[in-house]
Structure 1
Amino acid sequence: MRSPFKGNAAERLARLRAGLRHAFAVQPETHPLAVEDMRLLERIAEVVVKRGMAAPATMFLESIGPMNFLGSQALHFITPIIDCAFNVKEVEQVARLLELRDTVSRLIAVIEAKSAPAPNGATAR
């Protein structure tokens, strides 16, 4: 019996496999963030810790961690609506950061570091 994947069909299948090999590839989790991105995460963490919301924010971020990409797309969608209340540049920066898989875990780490008690008994800032 003759194989259905001979000649031209086999070549097409090989090209299709090569094209789809990286279709769902994402950036590695160790992708370094830019300085301004880290500054934004630091500012967010400072506000959270200053308001005494470190534990609830950490629990919330842990629960929505797998949904960060959907959150980024929602932010891109509502940016024109919220431009009168928030800085559009920062909203777009947060949306871009949420597209990266490890941003939520990095923010949690920054919040935990800032809320950890300092050796002298005061909270770290």
Structure 2
Amino acid sequence: MNTSGHTPPGIEDIIDLEGDEDYNGFMQSIAREIVQRQLTVPAIIFLESIKPLSFLGNQLLIFANPVVSLVVRTGNYYKFVRMIEDRENLEKLTVAIEEENAREVQRRKELKETRRREGGRSFLSWFRRRSDNRNKEVDGGGQQRDHQNNGD
């Protein structure tokens, strides 16, 4: 620990003195962002593929910190790095993403049902043929014909 008494800015977000951190809220926010951006399947595949190398990935992210800190906030970055150090947290994150995706699918189903009940037109209904006679004319014999010029 730093004995000079100086605490760098944002370090309280980075260091947990007790050693026990609860990542549930952080995992939920990550899962929500992934589902909103419709990256559920790629994220799950990525998490499952890096699970055996989680500690190595953790060390790689620590090594890449100077470059990555130019793009992302340092506090959340270190929290993510500490979180992926443990394989159990990767599994919990995968489950959180799957649960958030299930909630989003259910929400979309309910929204679709309410639209259907309210009588809203679907996208394909705009392209269906209508059975009106706007483009037909009646000739002298009482028969309908199209607006085509036959050259008569």
Output the TM-score relative to the length of structure 2.
Answer: 0.53
Structure 1 segments, 4+ long, off by >6 Å, are none
The number of aligned residues is 90
Over the aligned positions, Cα root-mean-square deviation in angstroms equals 2.1
Aligned position for 1:109: 95
What's 2:62 paired with? Answer: 76
Mapped to 2, the partners of 1:113 and 1:92 lie a distance apart of: 25
Q: How does 1:1-125 map to 2 (within 5 A)?
A: 33-34=21-22, 37-116=23-102, 117-118=105-106, 121-122=109-110
Normalized against structure 1, the TM-score is what? 0.64
1:89-124 Cα deviation digits (max 9, x unpaired): 11111111111121111110000000013278249x
- Give the letter aligned to residue 75 of structure 1: L
* Structure 1 gap segments, 5+ residues each: 1-31
Cα gap change, 1:119/1:91 in structure 2, threshold over 3 Å: closer, same or farther? closer
- Greater helix percent: which structure? 1
**Greater gyration radius:** 2
SS at match of 2:109: coil
Alpha-carbon distance in 2 for matches of 1:106, 1:122: 27
Could you give the per-residue CA deviations for residues 33-79 of structure 1, whole angstroms, max 9, x where no partner exists? 51xx2222111111110011111211121111111111111111111
Task: State the identity %.
Answer: 29
